[in-house]
Amino acid sequence: MTQTDTAVEAVLEPDLPIIDAHHHVWGDERQPPYPASRLFADKAVSGHKVDATVFVECHQAYRSEGPEHLRSVGETEFARGVAEDALRLGGRAAGACAGIVAFVDLTDAVNVDAALDAHAKAAGGRLRGVRQMAIAAPELPARHQSPAGLLTSEGFQAGFARFAKRNLPFDVMLTHPQLRDAVALARAFPQTTLVLDHLGGPLGVGRFADRKGEAFAEWREQLRAVAACPNVVCKLGGLLMPYTGLAAGEGRQMDSNATAAALRDHLLTAIDLFGPWRCMFESNFPVDMPSVSYVALWNGFKRITSNFSPMERAAMFHDVAARVYRLPA
């Protein structure tokens, strides 16, 4: 089996502990839908031993009124509700949204502290970081774009300096031509842990569609510079979004063998550069869901890492996420 319309397969290594370090939750208003009930099913019924998950901001359930800098607190309230529903359900559902990574506008330095306080209160003890989508690349939709050079701008860094005092990790999503900005931010704030989402966003479409070999080499060298910053950790996943050129294609899903084949080179390169103790796996569901099922995705990750030691695999599948996001053991 390579690519199929429905990828149903047995779970590999069902006793391997996993923390899903990056996912979202939203309703029918966005595609593909991923309500809390679907998250609970993936966590509890898939057969993988997903002990906990980390909810990452996705502009969901914002408040429709009130001060602008507090509107994203509605999303944290929403994620807390999902976490509490999971606890009430109990069993394997418990632990969903154990950590919440929120959005705070760090360019609004004067309001950063008030916003962080509000998110911390709304999260009910689950606030585990802040994320910035800092994408400036024509290959992605306009709604995802940020000003070029955002991470190195004076206004952003003023707000980041206030955030850095909270001793929380900072997730950042950008694309590989922008990785120098991640290096600059990591060097400017060496005491803050930066979490590089989706392997730094390797591009494989648009201007890179006809030169994928060159694009891979460019991404690898940019990622090497990021990995040289000891305060950066790398999320392993998110590679089945359209901009990477690795997605399955319209109406198709990959089984775990096809998933492993598609993702192996990128994932092993990142692990080689960062080392297993600075890498954590993520599902990036539901964004990657059109290309692969939850079962097949984690099976694919397990296939790719089959030659690593038990300690190295424990780090990447569970322990690094637990450490960075301070989740219960």
* pLDDT tens column, 209-233: 999 999 999 999 999 999 999 999 9
| Entry pTM | 0.96
**Could you give the percent of the chain with pLDDT greater than 70?**
98
- Is pLDDT at 107 greater than 90 in this prediction? yes
- The Cα–Cα gap between 57 and 46 comes to 24
Give the mean model confidence (pLDDT) for residues 152-181.
Answer: 98
Q: How sure is the predictor about 43, in pLDDT bands with cuts at 50, 70 and 90?
A: very high
The domains found in the chain, sorted by start residue, are 3-324 (3.20.20.140)
Quick one: pLDDT at residue 76? 99
- Is pLDDT at 7 greater than 50 in this prediction? no
86-90, 143-147, 179-183: which range is least confident on average? 143-147
The answer to whether residues 114 and 69 touch, using CB atoms and an 8 Å cutoff, is: yes
The backbone torsions φ and ψ at residue 247, rounded to the nearest 5 degrees and listed phi first, read -65, 160
Tens-place pLDDT, residues 46-69: 999 999 999 999 999 999 999 999
Q: How sure is the predictor about 1, in pLDDT bands with cuts at 50, 70 and 90?
A: very low
- The Cα–Cα gap between 212 and 195 comes to 25
Mind giving me the DSSP string for 205-241?
SGGGTT-HHHHHHHHHHHHHHHHTSTTEEEEE--TTS
Q: How sure is the predictor about 3, in pLDDT bands with cuts at 50, 70 and 90?
A: very low
Give the mean model confidence (pLDDT) for residues 228-244.
Answer: 98
